Structure 1
Amino acid sequence: MRLSKWSNQASEKEYKLSDPTSEVIFHAYPQSPVAEKVRVAFGIKGLAWRKVEIPRLPPKPMLTALTGGYRRTPVMQIGADIYCDSQCIIRELERRFPSPTFMPTSDQGLMWCLSRWTDGALFDQTVRHILGAAGDQLDQDFAADRGRLYLGEDWAAALKQANADLPHLVSQVRAPLSWLNTQLSDGRAFLLGPQPAAIDAQFYHVVWFLRGRWGDGPSFLSEFKDLVHWEANIQGIGHGTCSDMDPQDAISRAKSLEPTAETGVAPHEPQGISVGQPVTVQPDVNGGEQPVAGTLRYADAETVVIERSAEGVGNVCVHFPRSGYRINLL
């Protein structure tokens, strides 16, 4: 088996984050595939981080106190700055901890473009696949919550259709996995070469989800021999070093500090927004989710940051990606 030596290299570079202003606090639950993506990213960086375990299903009062209503998993907190969506989290980790890099080649722009597919259409397709395969065995509360989030208002009918369409859904995920297998067929350790990249984590979370949550996942994946070797290399990276943190301690941390986000709006802003303007931000899908309200603090082509204040939490800045999120001017 072609195991990578990266796990040893990462451990030698591990960041020890004892400063409360820079300590990485990760709000997630263990079964979340998107959280697994970020845990692998922590491993690539060799980070020490704090783990706040959140419920799988709403309500999530300790989390939404910090985010202003955003309920998706995961969320990263550093002081009084709250980062929503793995796209935003990975970007911020690269900014704060540039070595080892998530972008070991000169293809950074292409990797971000590709990640919008791995984290969007490919992941949504995989969710339909796994929910459909579970059929009537799926926990009804979980089915209602995730069905509404990913399948729309008529989620019950969509879930039945996914179950009926399962052979087709399997064929649709088989194609991209065969492409990955071809990419890895020259013996490389990771998708871009000898060093792991963000795009490895962004593809891996889909494979991890299929293997762990679909009963036929292991036999299905066995077709892709080079992909299975790559999986082992990703697992060898690990997740960095984590220690538990109480949710109330995370809220207290935010309350004791002030946000450090930049202030301003970059040139060529198409929505005409300005600092201090009341806005809401939400995922740009019909998932029945609560918008997060606040005042605009920063915006550019990739990121939007809103500032908000709440009793018990204090002043926080909530960071979102621009891609995949809607800013509503109030």
Structure 2
Amino acid sequence: MTANFPIVRMRRTRQNEALRSMVRETHLQTSQLIYPLFIAEGLTQPEPIASMPGIVQWPLELLEQEAKRLVQLGIPAVLLFGIPAEKDAVGSQAYAEQGIIQQAIRLLKATVPELLVITDVCLCEYTDHGHCGVIHNGDVLNDESLELLARMAASHVEAGADIVAPSDMMDGRVGALRHVLDEQGYKQTPIMAYSAKFASAFYGPFREAAGSTPQFGDRRSYQMDPANAREALREVELDIREGADIVMVKPAMAYMDVIHRVRESCDLPLAVYNVSGEYSMIKAAAQQGWIDERRVIMEVLTGLRRAGADMIITYFAPEVAQWLKEA
């Protein structure tokens, strides 16, 4: 027995849901959720992604109905990824006026204008080699890739994107995007930077969904070493100096310490990406009956909020939004 017991009894405020709700410190809300969408050329029907149960590649023609469903659920924003029918060494469809994402942006802003459209800015889905930049002699060239990434971002904003989100991890890309966007008159467009993006094994299912598996090597020469947290703080600081409006940590679940350290070190809005591998593990365990899917999902996302996330990019967004509606 401690000196304070029985005067102090921590269980007093845990007796029922009304009390637990009243003293709850961290709150998960639908307004904090961002839902990733994959839009693919050449489809007539949604194409299920085998490694991500419940997630599909969308044909452009059916995107509107899915967007309207998300709005009805109260989800405020989507993050778009494009899968073009044709790829080349420099990812030219990434910045084409009639590229799949440019078409998707225009469709969404014309039909569901209240939905915030965020676009992923990276070349990996558009290049025939699957890397995030220009290749020369087997190396990913940093500075030569910046021009293409900036062209891609500008084409997205011209089509109507509300926010651009560079995920390539080239040095200096936030500054390159900010310069080109400002120069072209898009000074009010925010940049959500994938600031601390780690070279993670949790991305496996995404590469099936986005068709972005590297055809040689890996991405460890530009994405971060999972062992490094101090380096993540440097990456965030550099992105802020270059003009980022929102910073991000990716992945999420295995990096809650990094999320917390970033939250403590900066005042910018902080996004986290609850990535494909995290999604698929929970889905697989739930299908086996090993976990209570709903409780685990809510616990994980609440944990990300508790660690310091202001917004969460998650494939669970529609389910969570529905559960929050029912609560």
TM-score of the pair, normalised by structure 2: 0.28
Higher relative contact order (CA 8 A, sep 6+): 1
Tell me the TM-score normalised to structure 1 length: 0.28
